[in-house]
């Protein structure tokens, strides 16, 4: 009972500190992404804080605009749910949450990631206009030849694409996520970190920086899984070459098109926190350095190494076209096969 009384305030304090740092830090990452892309394309690029921090601040001050959706209240709430889901996804991988009801496990991570993917299907289904004006509706106009035809919106096509990506496109990331857990012979994040970084489990001083002695990333199945994880990371972030559900060439921005002013700011926060959360999860599971808000050295190490995936993403995006499903399906199946091979090797079969 005494332990519980101490644990709950610690959990709350840890969560508040971790969430605040994650949100603020995530607002810097888009600027780094854009800067790297610009340098590759021989441009100067925007200031580091403009795409993340200042954009959120700017949209937060704009006059609210009512979204054009079937159920505006539900549509608005989806972006708030999204922020909650990605923040919880990140918190579940921080040490205090490892002891809470098994949420700090592969099941907790995979469950929240699936929920985040479902949001895009719901957003696309709800949003029914483009550029905040009603879509031209020849099927409803007087004298139209298409009166009885089904009315469609570009966002609905995005919802269908989101469903396909949820079913097939994101599969490689989930397969890759299994590899560190298979090597630790456990479903818990605590065991994965302890296997790679025994010094962290034994460390009690808040200033210490326990370095991993056996990172998963430096093993053969770990390298294969890390490659698959990175491509799955790009797919889950809906970035090029897997940005088909928000391709501007035909669906404009897909289901997030109607988010304006404060809702647009919230959507940017959701996307940026997901970018950081997936990077931090990679450092925790594949290198063995968790984001521990009560051990500053470990936290800073995690944040510094979390830059690796966004920088690699920027390089990929700078050179990539947008793939269609004819190209995405074989890529997803091939990467899943590589991830499965890494999983089999990690199990020692």
What's the pLDDT at 139? Answer: 53
DSSP-based helix, strand, coil % in the chain, nearest 5: 65, 0, 30
Query: How far is the C-alpha of 67 from the C-alpha of 133, rounded, in Å?
Result: 10
Which pTM was predicted? 0.92
Beta bridge partners of 130: 133
Which pLDDT tens digit goes with each residue over 185-229?
999 999 999 999 888 877 767 777 788 888 999 999 999 999 999
Among residues 304, 314, 343, 148, the alpha carbon closest in space to that of 233 is found at 314
Minimum mean pLDDT among 2-16, 138-152, 259-273, 318-332: which range?
138-152
pLDDT above 90 covers a percentage of the chain that reads 56
Q: Which residue has the higher pLDDT, 19 or 10?
A: 19
What's the pLDDT at 147? Answer: 60
Query: How far is the C-alpha of 239 from the C-alpha of 330, rounded, in Å?
Result: 18
**Rounded to whole angstroms, what are the CA distances from 291 to 19, 304, 306?**
11, 11, 10
Q: What's the pLDDT band for 75 if we cut at 50, 70, 90?
A: very high
Q: Which helix (H) or strand (E) holds 174?
A: helix 171-184
Which pLDDT tens digit goes with each residue over 292-332?
998 999 999 999 999 999 999 999 998 888 999 999 999 99
Q: Is the bond preceding 241 in cis, omega lying within 30 degrees of 0?
A: yes
Evaluate whether 94 touches 13 at the Cβ level (below 8 Å). no
Query: How far is the C-alpha of 256 from the C-alpha of 155, rounded, in Å?
Result: 8
What's the pLDDT at 247? Answer: 82
Query: How far is the C-alpha of 270 from the C-alpha of 26, rounded, in Å?
Result: 10
Among residues 150, 4, 153, 184, the alpha carbon closest in space to that of 67 is found at 153
What's the pLDDT at 131? Answer: 55
Say how many C-beta atoms besides its own lie within 10 A of residue 315's C-beta: 14
Evaluate whether 179 touches 346 at the Cβ level (below 8 Å). yes
Query: How far is the C-alpha of 161 from the C-alpha of 155, rounded, in Å?
Result: 10
What's the pLDDT at 132? Answer: 43
Tell whether the model's pLDDT for residue 241 goes beyond 50: yes
What's the pLDDT at 193? Answer: 93
Query: How far is the C-alpha of 143 from the C-alpha of 20, rounded, in Å?
Result: 57
Query: How far is the C-alpha of 26 from the C-alpha of 274, rounded, in Å?
Result: 8
Per DSSP, 134 falls in state P
Q: Which residue has the higher pLDDT, 289 or 201?
A: 289
Which pLDDT tens digit goes with each residue over 114-135?
999 999 999 988 888 755 445 5
Q: What's the pLDDT band for 246 if we cut at 50, 70, 90?
A: confident
Evaluate whether 165 touches 231 at the Cβ level (below 8 Å). no
Among residues 300, 245, 5, the alpha carbon closest in space to that of 124 is found at 245
**266 three-class SS:** helix
Q: Where are the beta strands (DSSP E) in 153-253?
A: none
Which pLDDT tens digit goes with each residue over 128-165?
875 544 555 555 556 666 666 666 777 888 888 898 88
Which pLDDT tens digit goes with each residue over 331-344?
999 999 999 999 99
């Amino acid at each position: 009972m005494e332990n519980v009384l101490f644990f709950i305030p610690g959990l709350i304090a840890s969560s508040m500190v971790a969430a605040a740092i994650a949100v603020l830090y995530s607002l810097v990452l888009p600027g780094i992404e854009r800067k790297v892309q610009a340098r590759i394309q021989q441009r100067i690029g925007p200031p580091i804080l403009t795409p993340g921090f200042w954009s959120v601040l700017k949209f937060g001050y704009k006059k609210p605009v009512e979204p054009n959706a079937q159920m505006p209240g539900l549509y608005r709430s989806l972006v708030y749910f999204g922020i909650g889901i990605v923040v919880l996804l990140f918190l579940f991988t921080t040490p205090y949450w490892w002891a809470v009801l098994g949420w700090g496990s592969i099941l907790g991570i995979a469950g929240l990631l699936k929920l985040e993917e479902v949001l895009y299907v719901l957003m696309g289904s709800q949003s029914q206009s483009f550029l905040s004006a009603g879509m031209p509706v020849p099927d409803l106009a007087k004298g139209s030849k298409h009166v009885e035809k089904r009315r469609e919106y570009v966002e609905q096509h995005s919802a269908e694409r989101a469903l396909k990506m949820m079913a097939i496109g994101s599969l490689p990331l989930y397969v890759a996520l299994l590899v560190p857990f298979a090597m630790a012979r456990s479903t818990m994040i605590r065991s994965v970190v302890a296997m790679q970084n025994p010094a962290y489990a034994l460390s009690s001083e808040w200033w210490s920086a326990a370095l991993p002695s056996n990172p998963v990333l430096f093993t053969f199945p770990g390298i294969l899984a890390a490659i698959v994880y990175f491509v799955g990371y790009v797919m889950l972030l809906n970035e090029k070459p897997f940005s088909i559900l928000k391709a501007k060439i035909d669906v404009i921005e897909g289901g997030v098109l109607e988010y304006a002013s404060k809702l647009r700011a919230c959507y940017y926060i959701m996307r940026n926190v997901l970018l950081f959360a997936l990077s931090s999860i990679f450092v925790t599971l594949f290198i063995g350095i968790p984001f521990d808000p009560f051990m500053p050295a470990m936290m800073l190490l995690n944040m510094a190494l979390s830059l690796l995936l966004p920088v690699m993403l920027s390089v990929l995006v700078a050179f990539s076209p947008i793939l269609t499903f004819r190209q995405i399906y074989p890529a997803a199946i091939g990467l899943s096969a590589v991830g499965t091979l890494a999983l089999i090797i990690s199990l020692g079969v």
